[in-house]
């Protein structure tokens, strides 16, 4: 793959839905349906999605809902062939900055306790565990850890 300097972050457009949906299917055992992404971009006024593009290909994406002064990460995925390159961390930093610009002062997300790589990345970004949702994930009834971070101007 190319160097990280070739990575471009931009707001997701309708033309990106097929690529994002493919990433979703690669990343999650119970992926969102394709129409959910169309609805996020066209109907949900609180939704903001960012894609990471390298060599013209969407290789990662992240979505969030911003309600009042809180941002909630809905989904984040990096193409399996591109993992381990800190793309997820850079994408999350983009989302944190964007959320702050839109007025959010806190950000939350859910993560599987078994997803050690993601949990470590979130901790590096300042997220702390603040709760648990029992049997949150429908594919295996795994709990979700609720993590929060306070957003600051960078």
Task: Please list the active-site residues.
Answer: 110, 122
DSSP class of 128: E
The token pair that represents 34 in the structure block? 């394709």
Residue 149: CB atoms within 10 A of its CB come to 20
Range list of H helices, the chain: 17-27, 34-42, 87-101, 116-124
Residues 9, 7, 123, 137, CA torsion sign = positive
Residue recorded with tokens 């969030």:
64
| 19 and 37 Cβ atoms separated by less than 8 Å | no
| 77 and 61 Cβ atoms separated by less than 8 Å | yes
Residue recorded with tokens 């610009």:
101
């Amino acid at each position: 793959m190319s160097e990280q300097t070739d990575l471009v972050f931009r707001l997701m457009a309708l033309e990106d839905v097929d690529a994002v949906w493919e990433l979703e299917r690669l990343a999650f055992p119970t992926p969102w349906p394709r129409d959910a992404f169309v609805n996020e971009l066209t109907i949900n006024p609180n939704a903001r999605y960012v894609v990471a593009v390298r060599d013209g290909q969407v290789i990662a994406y992240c979505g969030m809902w911003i309600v009042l002064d809180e941002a909630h990460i809905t989904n984040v995925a990096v193409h399996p062939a591109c993992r381990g390159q800190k793309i997820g961390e850079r994408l999350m930093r983009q989302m944190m900055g964007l959320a702050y610009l839109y007025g959010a002062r806190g950000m939350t997300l859910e993560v599987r306790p078994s997803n050690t790589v993601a949990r470590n990345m979130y901790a590096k970004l300042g997220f702390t565990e603040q709760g648990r949702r029992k049997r949150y994930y429908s594919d295996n009834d795994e709990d979700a850890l609720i993590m929060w971070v306070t957003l600051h101007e960078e």
